[in-house]
Amino acid sequence: MSIIIDGKAVSKKILEEIKLETENLQNKPCLAVIIAGNDAASKIYVNNKQKTAGYLGFESIVKELPEDISQNSLIEEVEKLNRDENVHAILVQLPLPAHIDSSKIIESIRPDKDVDCFHPYNTAKIALNMETTLFPCTPAGIMLLLKEYGISAEGKHAVIIGRSNIVGRPLSWLLLNNSATVTVCHSKTENLADFTKNADILISAAGKPEFVKKEMVKEGAVVIDVGITRDTDGKIKGDIDFERVKDKASYITPVPGGVGPMTICCLMKNTLELFKKYHLKT
Amino acid sequence: MSIIIDGKAVSKKILEEIKLETENLQNKPCLAVIIAGNDAASKIYVNNKQKTAGYLGFESIVKELPEDISQNSLIEEVEKLNRDENVHAILVQLPLPAHIDSSKIIESIRPDKDVDCFHPYNTAKIALNMETTLFPCTPAGIMLLLKEYGISAEGKHAVIIGRSNIVGRPLSWLLLNNSATVTVCHSKTENLADFTKNADILISAAGKPEFVKKEMVKEGAVVIDVGITRDTDGKIKGDIDFERVKDKASYITPVPGGVGPMTICCLMKNTLELFKKYHLKT
C-alpha cells in the first residue's frame, strides 16, 4: 500500500511554474555552464541543462574548454563570468580534469552566482542554519519531494547512507534544520542495518545497486533513493531493492523518475532565484 | 571501572607546549578581543582569555566597547583589527547586545584572523571535510580529549545531544570527518533514550543539569559532558548524572574539569596557528 513518489511529475509541475514566471519577466535569467574536457556523461548532462534552460525561456551560455586547460586559465574563465553583468548563474560541470583542484575552481565562483550552491560560503549558511534561499540541487530536490507529499521531517529519525559533499552532508544539514533527528551512515559504519531499520525516513546515496534490502527497512518508512548505477545489462538501478521494499515503505521513490528529475529542476529554480536577487539588489 | 577524563591536565599539558613554542619565537602571536556591553560573565571570560594569553607570552589587546554601540561602528572596530598587521587573531565575545546582528559581525572578521572559527568560510571547510588547520574551540577540545585518551571515533556510533552552531553542529562534522556514524539529537527528538542507549560515544551539550541518567547510557560508552549550569544552590552541574553514570561508562568527563578547560586551550592553539600561518605566508 505504499505511495510511489513521482519525481517526474513534481519536477514538471515546478518547471512549468518557473516557465510561467519567466514569461512575465522583462529580462531573462542567464545560466552559464563551463565544461572542461571530453567526458561523455558530462556532455550529456550539460546538454540537458542547456535544453531545459532554453525550454524555460532562460538565456544560456556553454563554455567548452580543452581537457588540458591550466587551473589558472580555468579560474580566469570563471572570473570573466563573475564580471559579466548578463550572467546570473555559473555552473562548473564536475568532474574536472584530474590536474585541476576542483575546490579552488568552486571557490573562484562569486557566491552570489554560485548556482550549484557548492561555494563554502553558501554551504556554510545551510550548515549553520542561517537565512538563505540557495540550496544544493539534489538535497533541495529531496526536501521538495517530501514537502510535495506532505511529509514532515520534524521529530522523525532520518537516516542517510552516504556522506558526500553533494548529497549526504548537505542533506543532513537540511534535515536537521527541519528538526529531524539525523544519522549519517557511510562506508565505515558498522552494522548498517541496525541504523536503517530504525529510520522513519531512509535516504540512500551510496551508489551500490539494490543493496538496501527489505529486511533493512522499517515498516512504514519513507524511502528515498538517490543511487543511480548502470547495471552490467545496461539497466539503470537505484540503491534500493525497489520491488521488494516498496510494499513495506509508506512512500518510496523509484529509479529512474524519483530524485533524478528533481536535481535539474532545482538547478533551474536556483538560476531564477539568483536572477531575482540580482535584480532586487540593483 | 571507568576512567575519568582529566581535561584540566590535558589542557595544562598543551598550554605548556604552546608556551615553550612561543618562547622560541622572535615575534609573538597577538590575540585581540572585542567585548561590547557589560555582561558580567563575558567580562570574566575575556579576563581569563587575556590572562592565559599573557601567561603563554602572547600579546593581547582587549577593546571594551559600550553597550549601545551601533552595528556599523562595531564592524568598523573589527575592520581596524583586520587591517592591523600586528594582530593575528580576532575574537568577538558573544553574546553581543540584542540590537546587533551577531552573524554580520562574525562575517566581518577576516577569515584568516577568525580565531573562534565561526566565520562561514572557515566552518564550511570543516562541514565539507576540506583541508584546514582551524577548528572551533569546544568541538576541537573534545576531539583532542578523545585523541589524548586513545579513543578512535572510526566506525563508532557517536550521538550528540544539541545542535548549536558552537558545539553540536561543528562537532558532528568533526566526528563524521573522523568516520564515526553520527546522530544529532535535539529538543525535537522523540524518544531520546532510544538514541543515547545505542551510543558508543555520547556527547551532551544541552545545558540541562543532570538530565542524562544511567539508564540512558550504554554499558562501556565514552561519555562527554559539555553542559555547564549553575544550580539553584550555586553548584556547577553538567548534563550528565555523573555519580551514577560514571560506573557504567568506560570513559567520562567531569564538570568542571572536563571539556571546559579544553575550550580556552584550543583558543590559544588557534591563535598560535594563525600567527604561524601569517608568518609562513609573508
Distance CA B180, CA A134 (A): 29
pTM, two decimal places? 0.96
**Residues A50, A54, A60, A61, CA torsion sign:** positive
Inter-residue contact A61 to A86 (CB < 8 Å)? no
* Pairwise CB contact (< 8 Å): A190 & B165: no
CA distance, residue A155 to nearest chain B CA (Å): 5
Residue B157 carries which DSSP code?
E
Distance CA B118, CA B270 (A): 12
Expressed in percent and rounded to 5, the helix, strand and coil fractions of chain B are 45, 15, 40
- How is residue B88 written as a grid cell? 593575528
Q: What ipTM, to 2 d.p.?
A: 0.95
The helices-and-strands tally (H runs, E runs) of chain A is 10, 11
Over residues A51-55, the mean pLDDT reads 98
Check CB contact of B75 with chain A, cutoff 8 Å: no
List the Cα angle A26/A32/A36 in 5-degree steps. Answer: 170
> Cα–chain-centroid distance for residue B174?
12
State the pLDDT at residue A282: 53
Q: Where are the beta strands (DSSP E) in chain B?
A: 3-4, 30-36, 59-65, 89-92, 157-161, 181-185, 201-204, 222-225, 229-230, 236-237, 251-252
Task: Say if residue A157's pLDDT is above 70.
Answer: yes
Closest CA to B54 of B17, B29, B36, B34: B29
Q: Which residues of chain A lie closer than 8 angstroms to B182, CB-CB?
A: 183-184
How large a percentage of chain B has pLDDT more than 90? Answer: 94
Domains present along chain B, CATH in parentheses: 25-110 (3.40.50.10860), 137-260 (3.40.50.720)
Closest CA to A158 of A177, A132, A133: A177
Task: Say if residue A94's pLDDT is above 70.
Answer: yes
Distance CA B173, CA B182 (A): 9
Expressed in percent and rounded to 5, the helix, strand and coil fractions of chain A are 45, 15, 40
**Does a cis peptide bond (omega within 30 degrees of 0) precede residue A256?**
yes
State the pLDDT at residue B230: 87
HSE (CB half, 13 Å, CA atoms) of B151?
26
State the pLDDT at residue B206: 96
* Pairwise CB contact (< 8 Å): B181 & A181: no
* Pairwise CB contact (< 8 Å): B125 & A120: yes
Distance CA B222, CA B143 (A): 12
State the pLDDT at residue A47: 96
Cell numbers 527541519 label which residue?
A: A178
Check CB contact of B178 with chain A, cutoff 8 Å: no
What does the mean pLDDT of chain A come to? 96
What single-letter amino acid sits at B108?
S
CB atoms within 10 A of CB A219: 9
User: What dihedral do alpha carbons A142, A143, A144, A146 form, nearest 10°?
Assistant: 90
**Residues A162, A166, A171, A177, CA torsion sign:** positive
Q: Which residues of B are annotated as catalytic?
A: 49, 93, 116
User: How far apart, in Å, are the Cα atoms of B75 and each of B65, B103, B116?
Assistant: 12, 11, 17
Check CB contact of B94 with chain A, cutoff 8 Å: no
Distance CA A124, CA A127 (A): 5
Is A19 marked active-site?
Answer: no
pLDDT tens sequence across B44-64: 999 999 999 999 999 999 999
Q: Find, in chain B, the residue whose alpha carbon is nearest to that of A125.
A: B120
* Pairwise CB contact (< 8 Å): B123 & A128: yes
State the pLDDT at residue A162: 98
Distance CA A75, CA A72 (A): 5
Q: Which residues of chain B lie closer than 8 angstroms to A154, CB-CB?
A: 188
Over residues B76-98, the mean pLDDT reads 97
Inter-residue contact B121 to B109 (CB < 8 Å)? no
Over residues B122-142, the mean pLDDT reads 95
Taking only residues 108 to 137 of chain B, the set having a beta carbon closer than 8 angstroms to any beta carbon of chain A reads: 120-121, 123-125, 127-130
Inter-residue contact A238 to A254 (CB < 8 Å)? yes
Task: Say if residue B181's pLDDT is above 80.
Answer: yes
Is A116 marked active-site?
Answer: yes
**Does a cis peptide bond (omega within 30 degrees of 0) precede residue A95?**
yes
